[in-house]
Structure 1
Amino acid sequence: MPEITVKQRLRYWFDNTMSKGAWSLIAWLGVLSAVMILIASFVIVLGIRPEWATQEGMGWSHIIWQNLMRTIDAGTMGGDTGSWPAMFLMLFVTLGGIFIFSALIGVLNSGLESKLEDLRKGRSFVVENEHTIIYGWSSLIFPIITELVEANKNRKKPTIVILSDRDKVEMEDEIRARVPEVANTRIVCRSGSPIDFDDVRIVNPDAARSIIILAPHEAGDPDAHVIKTVLAILNNPERKKEPYHIVAELRQHHNRTILEMVGGGEIETVVFDDLVTRISVQTCRQTGLSSVLTDLLNFGGDEIYFSKAGQVAGCTFGDALQLFEKSSLIGLKQDGKVRLLPDMKTIIQPNDELVAISLDDDTIRKGGDPFIQSEMIRPVAPIEVTPEKTLILGWNERAEATMNELNAYVCEGSHTTVVHREPVPELPLLTKQVVQTVLADPTDRAVLDNIHPEVYDHILVLRDTRMGIQEADARTLVVLLHLRELAIRHGKNFAIVSEMGDVRNQRLADSTQVDDFIISDQLVSLVLAQVSENKALAAVFEDLFDADGAELYLKPASEYVETQKDLSFYTVVEAAKARNEIAIGWRRQADAEKRDRGFGIQLNPPKTTRLNLKPDDALIVLANH
C-alpha cells in the first residue's frame, strides 16, 4: 500500500470542499480576499505607507478597511499618492480585488443558473393540501384537466399536480396550448418517474384529496407501469395510515384483478378498452347516445350525485320518482351496493342513499306538485325483436371484444359484416350473429358501392389505433364523406357512428352529417375525472355500461306519450314508469346536428316543464332492454 503524502491529503481535502457548490467557492474567495488584505495591511504597517496611511489616527483597523474598499472598488486608488513601492502595493491590492470579485460574480451567476435549472427540472417538493394528483402523461390528460378545472370552480384555491418523466417546461407549455382556460385552478408540474419510490413523494400524495394514474400509451406494457406506480404509492414506508383515493386507468381487462388485489379498497379501476368497447356497441345501436353520455359525464351541467334517503324513507322507489321536481332519481345505494333502476316496488329505507341526476348534491330536495296527464300516456305495447344487420368498417385491437359485446344485445339471426384492408383474426363462434369478413380498403369508394351500406341497420367506423391519431382520423373522415354521398344518392339516412381519436377532428367531420361520434379519449377522461371527485360513482358507471345492467336508451317518444300535444315532463316520467323505466330527458331530432343547441339533448329538465314532442323525437330513458 503506497504511503499517502501530506500534499495528497491537502489536495484531496481541497477538492472535496470545492465540489460542494457555489457557497464553498464563495467561502474560498472570501478567504483569499482576507489573506490578500491582511498581507497588504501588514506591509503598510511595516513602513511602506501611501499618503492616506500617514494621516493621524490611522490605526490597524482603518488600514484594513481602506484596503478592503480598494479591493471592492478599483476607482478608490485613483487619488492615491506616495512612494513607488506604496503605489505598487495599492495596485496589487486593486488588481487582486478585480480578480476576486470578477470570480465572485461568475460564481454567483453560475450558482443562480444552476438553481434556475433545478427549478426548471421540477424536482422540488410540492407543499399543497387537498390537491388532485395525476401520475403519468398521455392524451387523456388534457380533457381530464379541462373537467377538473370545471369541477374546481366552487372550490377555494384548487390545485392539480402532475408528475411525469417529461420535461417540466414542456409539460407546462403543452398544457397552456391545449387547456388555455384554467379559471381559479393552479396547475403544478413536476418531473420524475411515477414508478420511483422517492419521486412519487415529491407531489405530496399524503395530503392529496384524490390521485389519478394514467397508463403511458406509448409504453410496450402500459398496465405494468400503472401497477408499479400503485405499488410505489401504497408500499412506501413513509405513506399515511389513512386510505388513499386512487383511480387508475388500465388498458387490458385481465390486469384488473391484479391491480385490485394490490390496491384493495383504496383503488378504483377504469379499463380503457372495456369502456370504449361497451360505449361503441351501445352507441352503434342507438345513435346519439355518445352525446348523451358526454353531457351526463362532464362537469358543465347536471351530474350524478348521492343523497341521504331520509326525506322519502318508507316510499316505494316508483312513487319517489315524481317527488323531486328538479332531480331525476336513477337508483339506490343499499347496504353499500349501488342498484340502478331497482324494482319500482322497492321500499326506501332510512339508511339508504338516493342516486340522482341533479345540478348539485344540495338540489336533491323533495318538492313539486306532480301534474300527470294520464290521457296523454300511450298503452304499453309488446316489444318486437327482429334480427339486425351491422356493418363494421375498419379493425383495431378492440374489434373482437366489440363483436362479443354486440352479441349480448342482438337477437338470433342477426348479421354483421366486417370490412378491413388486412385479414382479421379468426373470430370465436358467436351464438346470435353470422359474421362475414371482406378483405378490402373501406376508404375505397368502389368497395363501399359493392357492399351496399344502405341495407344495414347500423354502421360503425372503427379507428385504426396502429396509426397516429391524426392519420387514423383522416382515414375515418374519408370513409364518412363517401358514406354521406351514398346516403344522398339512395335517399336514406344511414345510422352511422364513428370513432375519433381527437375531439378537435369532430368539428371537421360535422359536414359529413354523421349521427354520432365516439371520442374515446374524451369519454374515458370524463369517467376518470368523475370517479376522482366521487369514488362511489365507479359502481354507478360499472352498472351503467354493463350489458347485464340498466343502460341509457334513446327510444321513440311516440311509443310513450301523445306527440304534437302539450304535456308536462311529469307525464313523460309516469309513462316510462309504466314500462319499468326512468325517463331522464329527451332529444329533439330537429336539433340533432346543431352543436350550439346541444345536439337537441335535454337532460334532467324540471318536471313542471311543458313540452310538445314531435313524432321523430326521442326520450332518454334508463331501461333494462
Structure 2
Amino acid sequence: MNSPVARRVGSAAPARCHSEDRGRQGALVRRRHASLRDRARYLFDTRLARSTGTLLGWLALGCLVVVVPVSILLVWMDPSAPRSLSGRLAAVWRTSAETLRLGVATGTPLRMLLSVLLGLIALLCVSTLTGVITTGLGDRLAELRRGRSTVLERDHVVVLGWSEHVFTVVAELTAARGGRGRGIVAVFADRDTAEMEKALAAVPAAGGARLVCRTGALTAPGALALVAPAVAESVLVLPAEDTDADLEVVRVLLALRSLTATETGPAVVAAVRDGRYLPAARLAAGPRGVVLETDTTTARLLVQSAWRPGLPAVLHDLLDVAGAEFHVIEAPGPAGPAFAETALRLESACLVGIMRADGSALLAPGPETVLGAGDRLVVVAHDDTAPAPADSRAHIDQTAMAPPGPGPQNPARVLLLGWNRRAPLIADILRRTARPGAVLDVVTDPDDGLVPGHVEGLAGTGWPGVTHHVGDLARPETLRALDLFGYDSVIVLGPDADAGSGRPDDRALLTLLMLRAQEEEAGRALPVVAELCDHRSRALAPLGPASDAVVRGELTALLMAQISLKPTLATVFEEVFSARGGGLGLRPAGLYVRPGREATFATVVAASLRRGECAIGYRAHLPRTAHRHDGIRLAPGKSERRVWAAEDEVVVLSAAPRASDAETDAETDAGGAEPDALPRMRRPPEADALPSDRGPEEDPPTGRPPARQ
C-alpha cells in the first residue's frame, strides 16, 4: 500500500470525496433556492407571457377570487340580509355585480346573462375611451418633452447646433439677455431635449433669462420653424466636431435663408473650421451674416499669446459680458476734435478707435487723426452708455511719464511641439509677423505621420529659419536634447479632436508635464502657451508661472456671442485679431510711467497715445498672485491714482502696421499671398456685384478696409 500508485489513488480518493461533497452541496443549494414561492411566481409569469387573452383571463379570475368571497362575507355578516339561501345568493350577486360594474339585474338566468353582457360592453367602451384619452395625453406630453412645440417668441436669440461652443455661448447670452430683463434663448439641435436640458442645467439663468430647448433636423426648414428664426433678434450657427461639420453649417445657413428675409432678417453669426468653406458660408449667410473661422481665430490667438504672454486672461475678461467690453458710442460734441483730445475727455471709458460712417473700423489711429461727420467712437467700457464729457488733462503728470524708448519686439526663437490642422496656419502667421532672422523649430511625434520637408514647405519659401525634428514628446530625453531655455516662446499643440483620440488633451497635458519638470529642474520659468480642446483640462494643466492655456473653442464662442449682441463689432474684432501684427498686448509699465512714482491712469493714457497705442487697463503685480488673470483691471477711471511698480503691466491696443505698396507688389509678383490679406468675417457688399458691374479700372476687393490717413 506504500507504492506510488497506491499513494496517488489514496490522494485522489479524498479529492473525489470533496468533489462529491461540493456537488451535493450545490444541489442542495439549488433545491433550497427553488422554493414554492419562486415556483409559483415562475408559473404565473409564464402564464401571463403567453398572450393578451391569457392575461385577461387571469385578470378576470383574480377579480372573481377576491370579489366573490368578500361579497359572501359582507352578505352573511349583514343583519338585514335575507334569511333564505336564494335571497342571500341574490344579494351576493348584486354586491359582486356592483363592484365589477356588471349590472344588478336579477331574475331568470337569461336576464342576468344579458345584464352581464351589457356591463361588459359598457366596461369595454369606457376602458377604450380612457385608453384613447390617456394615450393622447401621453403622446402630447412626450412630444412636449421631446421639444416639438413651436416657440411663440419675438426678439429672442436662437442657437443652432451642438458642440463644445454651446456652453460658453449660452452662458454669455443668458447673462446678456438677463441684464436687459426677461429674455429667451432657444437652443435647437438634433439631440434629445432632456439630454440638452440636463447638460445645460449648469448654465446659470441670469436676471430671469429663460432657456428653451427644441429638437429636430437642422437642415430641414420645417423643423427650424419651431424656434421662429424669422422674428428672432439673432441666430448663431455652431460647428460640430465631425469631418463634415463645415458642409453641415453651409446646409443649415441655406435652410435658414429660406425662412428669413435677406435684408431685414435677424443677424446671423456662424463659424466654420476650414477656410476653404468660408466663401460658401458667407454666400449662404447673406449680407447680414458674419462667419468666423475657428481654426484661424485659434491660430491667431496662439501666436499673439506667444508674442505677448498673459493675453488669454485679458481677452477672456474683455470678451465676456461680466466686465468691460468693446462698445460703439456716439461722439460727444460736434465733429472736428483730434483723437488724442477726445480720448482724454472720457473719464470712465477708454477710447481705442473710430468707426467710420461707412462701417469700417480704424483702431489706434494717430493722435492727430480728426473725427469726421458721422464717425462714432470705439471704446472699452463697462456699458454702452455714452459717458459725460470730462477733461482729464488736468490729471496728467508730465514728470511721471517715462522717457521715450523702444518697445518690446516679437520673439526671435520659437519652439512648436506637436502638430494638428492649425499648425500650418500658426507657422504662416509666425512667418508674417516674425522679425528678420527669426527661427521656428518644430518637433512632432512619430504618430503625426509628417515626412521630412513637409513642415518647411508649409511654412513658406520666404522663411528659411524653419527646422523639423521627429521625437517622442512623452520621453524626457527628447526635451532635454533641446535648448529649451534658449527659446523666447514655446507653443504646445495636441491632436485634433476628430483624429480618433477620445481625449485629445492627454498628449498636450503630458508635454506640459514634461516641460514643467524641466522648469523645476532648472529653476527657471519657461514661456509656454498650450492649446487645449476641453475647458475642463485647464484645471489639470501643469502650467508654470510664465505659461498660458488657450481653450480652442472658447474664444470663438465668446466672439460669436459678442457679435450676435452687437453686430457692428465684427470689423473691430477683425482688426484686433489681424495677423499683420498690432492688436492687444501687455507692456511693461516702465514704458509709460516711471517705476515707483504715483500717477493717474490719465498719465498712462497720454503716454500710450504718444507711442501710437491706446491704454485700456493694467495688470497689477501681486506677490501672491496664483494666476495671470489676478490683478487685471480694465477701463479704470482716468483720475484713478496708484503707485506703479516695475513689474506692473499695461494693457494696450496698438495699430497693425500696413505694408507699403512696393512691398505688396513685390510679394504679389513673387507668387505669394498679400502680407495682410486675410479672410473677412463679413461678406463685402461689392462681392454681390457681377464682374461686369465693376469699372475697368477697379481692382477686386482685397478683403481689408482701406487705409486711413
- TM-score (structure 2 length as normaliser): 0.74
Instruction: Identify if the C-alpha distance between structure 1 residues 622 and 111 changes in structure 2 by more than 3 Å, giving closer, same or farther.
Output: same
Matched, 1:442 2:473: yes
In 2, Cα distance between the equivalents of 1:426 and 1:240? 43
CA contact (8 A) 1:469 1:501 kept: no
Residue of structure 1 aligned with 2:351, choices 308, 314, 329: 329
- Aligned residue number for residue 605 of structure 2: 573
What is the alpha-carbon root mean square deviation over aligned residues?
A: 2.4
Residue of structure 2 aligned with 1:399, choices 413, 419, 423: 423
Residues 74-153 of structure 1 mapped to structure 2, 5 A cutoff? 74-75=100-101, 77-78=103-104, 80-153=105-178
Instruction: Identify if the C-alpha distance between structure 1 residues 214 and 71 changes in structure 2 by more than 3 Å, giving closer, same or farther.
Output: farther
Instruction: Identify if the C-alpha distance between structure 1 residues 71 and 212 changes in structure 2 by more than 3 Å, giving closer, same or farther.
Output: farther
Amino acid at match of 1:327: A
In 2, Cα distance between the equivalents of 1:130 and 1:376? 51
CA contact (8 A) 1:454 1:487 kept: no
Residues 551-570 of structure 1 mapped to structure 2, 5 A cutoff? 551-570=583-602
**Which blocks of at least 5 consecutive residues in structure 2 are unaligned?**
1-95, 657-709
Tell me the number of residue pairs that the alignment of Structure 1 and Structure 2 aligns: 551
Residues 182-193 of structure 1 mapped to structure 2, 5 A cutoff? 183-193=207-217
Q: Secondary structure at the match of 1:202?
A: helix
Residues 340-359 of structure 1 mapped to structure 2, 5 A cutoff? 340-359=363-382
- Aligned residue number for residue 206 of structure 1: 230
In 1, Cα distance between the equivalents of 2:410 and 2:171? 42
Amino acid at match of 2:116: L
Instruction: Identify if the C-alpha distance between structure 1 residues 594 and 433 changes in structure 2 by more than 3 Å, giving closer, same or farther.
Output: farther
CA contact (8 A) 1:334 1:352 kept: yes
In 2, Cα distance between the equivalents of 1:98 and 1:510? 71
Bigger Rg, structure 1 or 2: 2
In 2, Cα distance between the equivalents of 1:593 and 1:451? 30
Alpha-carbon shift at residue 383 of structure 1 (Å): 4.8
In 1, Cα distance between the equivalents of 2:406 and 2:186? 54
Q: Secondary structure at the match of 1:552?
A: strand
Matched, 1:254 2:276: yes
Alpha-carbon shift at residue 351 of structure 1 (Å): 1.6
Q: Deviations over 1:551-575 (max 9, x none)?
A: 1111111122101121100100111
In 1, Cα distance between the equivalents of 2:521 and 2:354? 49
Matched, 1:598 2:629: yes
CA contact (8 A) 1:462 1:498 kept: yes
Residue of structure 2 aligned with 1:167, choices 176, 192, 202: 192
Alpha-carbon shift at residue 77 of structure 1 (Å): 3.3
In 2, Cα distance between the equivalents of 1:445 and 1:486? 9
- Aligned residue number for residue 537 of structure 2: 505
Residue of structure 1 aligned with 2:653, choices 592, 612, 622: 622
Amino acid at match of 1:334: R
Q: Deviations over 1:44-99 (max 9, x none)?
A: xxxxxxxxxxxxxxxxxxxxxxxxxx999854834x44444433332221121122
Alpha-carbon shift at residue 512 of structure 1 (Å): 4.2
In 2, Cα distance between the equivalents of 1:591 and 1:506? 23
Alpha-carbon shift at residue 363 of structure 1 (Å): 4.7
Alpha-carbon shift at residue 341 of structure 1 (Å): 1.2
CA contact (8 A) 1:136 1:213 kept: yes
CA contact (8 A) 1:333 1:352 kept: yes
CA contact (8 A) 2:525 2:545 kept: no
Alpha-carbon shift at residue 333 of structure 1 (Å): 0.9
Q: Deviations over 1:164-188 (max 9, x none)?
A: 1111111111111x42555522111
Q: Secondary structure at the match of 2:647?
A: coil
In 1, Cα distance between the equivalents of 2:417 and 2:581? 28
In terms of mean alpha carbon deviation, does 342-351 or 163-172 score higher? 342-351
Alpha-carbon shift at residue 326 of structure 1 (Å): 0.5
Instruction: Identify if the C-alpha distance between structure 1 residues 369 and 381 changes in structure 2 by more than 3 Å, giving closer, same or farther.
Output: closer
- Aligned residue number for residue 562 of structure 2: 530
Residue of structure 2 aligned with 1:609, choices 619, 633, 640: 640
Alpha-carbon shift at residue 606 of structure 1 (Å): 0.9
Residue of structure 1 aligned with 2:571, choices 527, 539, 542: 539
Instruction: Identify if the C-alpha distance between structure 1 residues 573 and 432 changes in structure 2 by more than 3 Å, giving closer, same or farther.
Output: farther
Alpha-carbon shift at residue 360 of structure 1 (Å): 0.6
Alpha-carbon shift at residue 513 of structure 1 (Å): 3.8
Instruction: Identify if the C-alpha distance between structure 1 residues 405 and 617 changes in structure 2 by more than 3 Å, giving closer, same or farther.
Output: same
Residue of structure 1 aligned with 2:553, choices 511, 521, 526: 521
In terms of mean alpha carbon deviation, does 347-356 or 109-118 score higher? 109-118
Residues 318-467 of structure 1 mapped to structure 2, 5 A cutoff? 318-336=340-358, 337-370=360-393, 371-383=395-407, 388-422=412-446, 423-424=449-450, 425-428=454-457, 429-432=460-463, 434-466=465-497
Q: Secondary structure at the match of 1:143?
A: helix
In 2, Cα distance between the equivalents of 1:229 and 1:190? 16
- Aligned residue number for residue 292 of structure 2: 270
- Aligned residue number for residue 55 of structure 1: none
Q: Secondary structure at the match of 2:208?
A: coil
In 2, Cα distance between the equivalents of 1:514 and 1:179? 31
Instruction: Identify if the C-alpha distance between structure 1 residues 163 and 618 changes in structure 2 by more than 3 Å, giving closer, same or farther.
Output: same
**Which blocks of at least 5 consecutive residues in structure 1 are unaligned?**
1-69
In 2, Cα distance between the equivalents of 1:102 and 1:251? 57
Q: Secondary structure at the match of 2:550?
A: strand
Q: Deviations over 1:374-420 (max 9, x none)?
A: 01112212457586111111111010110110112211111111111
Alpha-carbon shift at residue 470 of structure 1 (Å): 6.8
In terms of mean alpha carbon deviation, does 580-589 or 467-476 score higher? 467-476
Amino acid at match of 1:427: E
Alpha-carbon shift at residue 504 of structure 1 (Å): 2.0
Q: Secondary structure at the match of 2:491?
A: strand
In 1, Cα distance between the equivalents of 2:97 and 2:630? 77
In terms of mean alpha carbon deviation, does 327-336 or 476-485 score higher? 476-485
In terms of mean alpha carbon deviation, does 565-574 or 91-100 score higher? 91-100
In terms of mean alpha carbon deviation, does 430-439 or 315-324 score higher? 430-439
In terms of mean alpha carbon deviation, does 125-134 or 484-493 score higher? 484-493
Residue of structure 1 aligned with 2:308, choices 281, 286, 307: 286
Q: Secondary structure at the match of 2:427?
A: helix
In 2, Cα distance between the equivalents of 1:241 and 1:418? 47
Instruction: Identify if the C-alpha distance between structure 1 residues 81 and 506 changes in structure 2 by more than 3 Å, giving closer, same or farther.
Output: same
Amino acid at match of 1:109: T
In 1, Cα distance between the equivalents of 2:472 and 2:378? 46
Instruction: Identify if the C-alpha distance between structure 1 residues 85 and 384 changes in structure 2 by more than 3 Å, giving closer, same or farther.
Output: closer
Q: Secondary structure at the match of 1:335?
A: coil
In 2, Cα distance between the equivalents of 1:272 and 1:89? 78
Instruction: Identify if the C-alpha distance between structure 1 residues 514 and 475 changes in structure 2 by more than 3 Å, giving closer, same or farther.
Output: farther
Q: Secondary structure at the match of 2:328?
A: strand
- TM-score (structure 1 length as normaliser): 0.83
Matched, 1:480 2:512: yes
Amino acid at match of 1:243: G
Q: Secondary structure at the match of 2:351?
A: strand
In terms of mean alpha carbon deviation, does 461-470 or 372-381 score higher? 461-470
In 2, Cα distance between the equivalents of 1:76 and 1:386? 94
Amino acid at match of 2:647: D
Instruction: Identify if the C-alpha distance between structure 1 residues 309 and 72 changes in structure 2 by more than 3 Å, giving closer, same or farther.
Output: farther
Matched, 1:295 2:317: yes
Amino acid at match of 2:387: I
Q: Deviations over 1:105-135 (max 9, x none)?
A: 2233322322223223322211111111011
